Amino acid sequence: MSRLPAIAPEYPDQAELIVRRLTKAADLAHDEIELLRSLSEAPERVPAGTELIGEGDRLHEAKLLLAGWACRQRYLSDGRRQIFDFILPGDIYGLCLRPQAVALCTAVTLTRATISNASVLSDAIVNHADGYPGLTSASLMSASTDEAYLLNQMVRIGRQTAYERVAHLILELYHRLAIVGLAADNYMPLPLTQEMIADALGLSIVHLNRTLQQLRRDGLVEVRGGGARLLDPGKLRTIADFRAPHVTTRRLENNGVRLHAVAT
């Protein structure tokens, strides 16, 4: 059996990840795109296990994950961990439009990562929204999509079987990575340990391992060597009842532009 490729084809430049992600959400002007590209300047490289945000920390400075994977998580007093969602390359974290917002959980890197300051983006959409209508719209749509992913997580853990959970999570990660060009031809990088995946799905490592083996035997997905290949995406979507979050906006002209975002 051939070895899975190390990375997806035509791996994009780090600076383009956030551009690709937000241009999928809204039409951006040239100056808005240039602002996003500037976010990759002066990057900081951090090791795996670095705390990016602590639960209860004030959310006053947005950051951009340029490379590597991170997650939002919470530990129980006995050491059990629940991963709520994954932060992927091209994702903004620490950006919240609630006044005097604090983090509701901890964010930590799962692999070596590269991050950069994105405070210029938060300043643009919070303090100068009229001058950056595209970025403001895209950021609202992005927040709505994040909410949809959280709802997916609730359904996975609350109602789906282990088999369905694993299939659904893999499809969701593939969808998110494909948006920014990091997944293609049914292959995606998956630099997660089985423990990390199990902690995201509320499964034991033994149960997860057996489920992954069954998915491979059924000719649906192969997870190996830091990557995953979807062997039968159509059947996988049917089993997982997977539907990519669809976010729409409606612009209303009334003393300026008002934005209404809906996730379905």
Does 174 map to a domain? no
pLDDT, position 11: 56
Distance CA 89, CA 114 (A): 9
Average pLDDT of the chain to the nearest whole number? 88
Percentage of the chain surpassing pLDDT 70?
A: 89
Strand order in the sheet with 113-117: 44-46, 113-117, 63-67, 92-93
Own/partner contacts of 255-264, CB < 8 Å, gap of 24 or more, are 256/130, 257/133, 259/136, 259/137, 259/140, 261/140, 261/141, 261/143, 261/144, 262/144, 263/144, 263/145, 263/147, 263/148, 263/151, 264/148
Q: What are phi and psi of 129, to 5 degrees?
A: -60, -35
- Length of the chain equals 264
**Section 5-25 average pLDDT:** 74
Confidence bin at 15 (pLDDT 50/70/90): confident
Other C-beta atoms closer than 10 Å to the C-beta of 130 total 8
* Cβ neighbourhood burial of 13 (10 Å; 0-12, 13-18, 19+): exposed
The pLDDT of residue 116 is above 60: yes
Helices within the chain (DSSP H only): 14-23, 30-38, 119-127, 133-159, 162-179, 194-201, 205-217, 233-240
Does 241 map to a domain? no
- Two structure tokens written together for 237: 């979507």
DSSP 104: S
Other C-beta atoms closer than 10 Å to the C-beta of 256 total 9
The pLDDT of residue 107 is above 70: yes
Does 73 map to a domain? yes
Confidence bin at 254 (pLDDT 50/70/90): very low
**Model confidence over 17-55: pLDDT tens digits?**
999 999 988 899 999 999 999 998 889 999 999 999 999
The pLDDT of residue 250 is above 90: no
pLDDT, position 60: 79
- Two structure tokens written together for 2: 């051939």
Residues 6+ apart with CB under 8 A from 232: 219, 220
pLDDT, position 255: 35
Does 206 map to a domain? no
**Which secondary structure element, helix H or strand E, spans residue 224, and what is its range?**
strand 221-224
Does 223 map to a domain? no
Domain of residue 93, CATH code: 2.60.120.10
- Please identify which residue in the block is written with the tokens 């998915």: 215
**Model confidence over 164-218: pLDDT tens digits?**
999 999 999 999 999 999 999 999 999 999 999 999 999 999 999 999 999 999 9
SS3 178: helix
Confidence bin at 257 (pLDDT 50/70/90): very low
pLDDT, position 96: 80
pLDDT, position 143: 87
The type of residue at 87 is I
SS3 119: helix
CB 126 within 8 A of CB 56: no
Does 246 map to a domain? no
Distance CA 63, CA 189 (A): 22
Percentage of the chain surpassing pLDDT 90?
A: 75
Whole domain around residue 87: which residue ranges? 12-142
The pLDDT of residue 260 is above 50: no
**In total, how many domains does the chain have?**
1
Does 257 map to a domain? no
The pLDDT of residue 59 is above 90: no
pLDDT, position 263: 39
| pTM of structure | 0.88
Confidence bin at 261 (pLDDT 50/70/90): very low
Confidence bin at 8 (pLDDT 50/70/90): very low
Does 23 map to a domain? yes
pLDDT, position 248: 57
Other C-beta atoms closer than 10 Å to the C-beta of 26 total 20
